[in-house]
Every structure is written in C-alpha cells, then in structure tokens.
Chain A
Amino acid sequence: MLTQTRSSFNFHGRSFLAFVLTPSAPLHEWLLELDDRAAQTSDFFASRPLIVDLSKIELTKLELNSFLLQLQTRNFRLISVEGVDPSWLAPALEPLPGGKNTPYPSQESSRAEHAEKATEIQSLTLATPLRSGQSIYFPNGDVSISGSVASGAEIVCGGSVHVYGSLRGRAIAGSANNTTARIFCRKFEAELIVIGGFLKSSDSFDPDLYGKPVQAWLEENTIMLKIME
C-alpha cells in the first residue's frame, strides 16, 4: 500500500540517433565486411544503439537466432530487429513504433532543402570562448565564435566555421559532405581541420601559418590553406 501519494510525476524525453543496418545475403560475408568496417573506426559502433532491418533477406527462425547471436558477440547495442516475424523475437527486440530516417547527405538534397528552409536560422553564434573538452555540434549551418577555441575543444558543423579568436582545437566544417564549406580563423594554431570529410592534421600544416589569420577550403579533395591579408 502506498503511504504517500505523489502529486506529480516527473519525466522528460530524450532522443538518440540509432543506426539502421540493412544486411544483405550471404550473411556471413556481410558480417566479415561489418567487422572490417568496425575495425577501421574502432569505437564507432561501440556505444551507439543499433537497429537491424532484415526485410531484404529471407531467414528461417534458426538462421535469425544464430545471426543475432553473432551480433551479440560483437558487443553491439541492438535495440530492435525489423523485417522479420515479430513472434520470433524476444520482446525486447520487437520493432519500435515511430522513428524516422535521417536523410542521406548529398549535395542535391541539401541544396534543395536550403531553398525550402531559407527562412530558418542557418547559423550559430557564440560570444564565449569554447573551452577544452567542450564540443559544438551544429549540422544546420555556419558557426561563428567571437572568442577562441581551446586545445581539446571541437566544433562540428554543416557549414563554415568562423573563429574570431585563436583556433587551437579541432574544426570540422561541412560535416554532411558539404565540400564548399570553409574554415576561417584570426589565429591559426589548430590541432585538426576537416572539410567535407577530408582532413588535415597539425603534422602537415605549414609552420609559417602558425598564429596567422588563415582560411581553409577544399580544392579537388585536398585542403588548401592560405594566410588572409
């Protein structure tokens, strides 16, 4: 028996991005490929929720179980399985209602969206410095920072990065394969820069650029850097 009655119950929502894997036959080859991919990006899959969509292949209940076991041994956080008879699945793995696919990043679609959403705010402006350990994720457009980006801090954005202080951390521009994005900073001391998926680390920076106002852009899949006059 409850001795106390609560007047209200506190709860709030939280959303996660889950990866949907769509295996193709033969499954054992697909698993090898997956292992290969996971080895290249060591902890990419480790902590992310996964959904497996099996609608493209035909499986018996036995085959399904052995496949799920295979995934389990790889320490994936499987949250649901789609495209098979739900009665074959443990209740915890039944398809989740709702959820929608994130769009595939491509030049065409992002341009089209740009045109549609022209009235929406497409930039983020920060008036405080970005401290070591802090990370900004802004997939919708440009990020401007009036202070510095510290060593160990990170900006990830879909558009261009503008830093009016020193850029000492990492700047990742054009995160959704936007190859026209650029990086601008007043004092260039970066650890790493990435534009449209192409990266350049501090080892390969020309020492003359250090501490200078610098602009970076992508030209034929190579990051170009230039001192801004």
Chain B
Amino acid sequence: MSEKKNAKIVVVTSGKGGVGKTTSTAALGAALAQEGQSVAVVDFDIGLRNLDLMMGAERRVIFDLINVIQGNANLSQALIKDKRLENLYLLPASQTRDKNALTEKGVLQVMEQLRSRFDWVICDSPAGIERGAVLAMKHADIAVIIANPEISSVRDSDRIIGLLDSKTERAKKGQEVEKHLLITRYDTVRAGTGEMLAIDDVSEVLSIPLLGIIPESREVLSASNLGVPVPISNPASLPAKAYVEAARRLCGEDIEVTLPVSKKKLFANWFGGRAA
C-alpha cells in the first residue's frame, strides 16, 4: 500500500434493520478482495457493532473508528488485516461509545486517509435515518441499497435514497451518488407462492439499477455464525456466486442479473430437507 490510491467510497445502507447490510458489506468486501482489489470495510454502527463478528475478527479489535477520530490511535493501528485475504482490512466500530462520538470533521479525516490507501472503502451503515446513518453516507461515491422483497423494507429504502440525494457531500456539490439496488433474503420457494414482492415491483418502486439478487440461504447464516464472509466460506454456493457477480458489476462488468434458482433446493424439499 505504498502508492497513493483514490478509492471509491461505497455506503451499504437500507433504512430498515435486519435486511442484511452487515452481511452484504462483509461479502462484497471479500468478493472485491478476491478480485484482487484492496478493500477496507468500515463499521459505522457505533455501539452495536457486528461487522467484526461477520469478518471473524471480534477477538482482534484493539482500536476502533472512534479512537482514530479522537486521535487516540492512528489508522494503521486500528485497521485489522484479514487472515484469509491479504488485501482485505476491517476498521471496526466502538462498542462502548455511541454515535455522538462520531464528528463530521473526524469522519472526513478518516475517509480521506482511507481513500488514499485503498481501491474500495465500504461503509456499513447503521439502520435508521439518524446521525449515524447520515454520517456513514456522507462521503459516499456509490450507494448499495439493500432491500428485502417486502413493503416496509422497500419504503424505508426509498426514504434512504431521498437522503442520499440531499444529505451527501456529492448532493451538496450538485453531483449524484451512484445508486445500486441489492435485493437480499430472496426466497425462491416463497416467491413461487406469491408471499414476496416481485423483483420487478421492487425495482419499479425504487427505480434504481439492480446490482444483484441474493437468495435466502443457510450458507449465509452459517457463514455469519462462523465469521467467514460467504464468498470465502463456500465460493460454490448460490449466495456466494450472487455476491461475486454483484461485486463484479460494481467494478463495471456487464453481467446479466438472473434469479437465483437452485436445483438442489427442489430435491431438498422432496426429501423433506429444510431449505431455509
């Protein structure tokens, strides 16, 4: 990391909680790192941090984002290098502080430093539309909006898109934040029974380009529990493939978005297996 870089800053955001922001941040970070990009994933969920767990680094946190902002540690001390991918780093959140410890000036300084050291900086936004979420999106060039195929998630995402168009630095300069929709927890079985909103309806309501569709899957759950992002833990699985494709689309590759359908899943149903 000697030469000066100019990272793209991505915010992973949704408004609603529990839709898969942190899981997606970890998975997109891992997928980009597998593509050879240097990546920092940054946890903005001060006081309720989870990204360290998803990255399997919870026992390695010494300094955090707030320490860097307050000048108690420098960025290099706080960045945790991933044990599996050498160009993947985590900047954890503080668990003991609250979001008021985030200052605008401090966030700007940390973002500028990260920008010059990585190819990608991926910020995991807290849920909600308050200060923490606004600061997480503030310096973003690109936003990945996570939505589940259900109405409350879609409306919250719509609200967040409105904030991206008004509260970010880019919006203030009259530029636009590049926005992508990532649909997560898509259940192929429930989709067939009409229990979920159709992908087309979600895309139509939010009217931003679709980055990918991540199937609801046991792989994702077990990867989270193990602390290994799914593209690393099981690269052949459907969600891993969907995340890797999404990461490649972020890099500008033109890959068609397809519905994730597993043949194995059908068999699993026939044999009474639990297809999550």
B-binding residues in A (CB < 8 A) = 128-129, 131-134, 147-148, 150-153, 166, 168
Contacts and interface: CB of A to CB of B under 8 A. Distances in A.
Nearest to A134: B162
Contacts of A129: 207
A75 to B, nearest CB: 25
Interface of B: 129, 155-156, 158-159, 161-163, 165, 204-205, 207
B207 A148 contact: yes
Contacts of B156: 132
A151 B151 CA distance: 10
> How would you classify the secondary structure of chain B's contact residues: helix, strand, loop or mixed?
helix
Give the one of B156, B163, B205 with max A CB within 10 A: B205
Nearest to A151: B155
B205 A133 contact: no
Contacts of A128: 165
A150 B165 contact: no
A131 B165 contact: yes
B133 to A, nearest CB: 13
B207 A133 contact: no
B162 A147 contact: no
Nearest to B166: A134
A147 B208 CA distance: 12
Contacts of B162: 131-134, 153
B165 A152 contact: no
B161 A131 contact: yes
A147 B162 CA distance: 13
A151 B207 contact: no
A152 B155 contact: yes
B174 to A, nearest CB: 13
Which 9 residue pairs are nearest across A and B when measured between Cβ atoms?
Answer: A131-B162, A132-B158, A132-B159, A133-B159, A150-B158, A134-B162, A131-B158, A132-B155, A131-B161
Contacts of A147: 207
Contacts of A152: 155, 158-159
Nearest to A133: B159
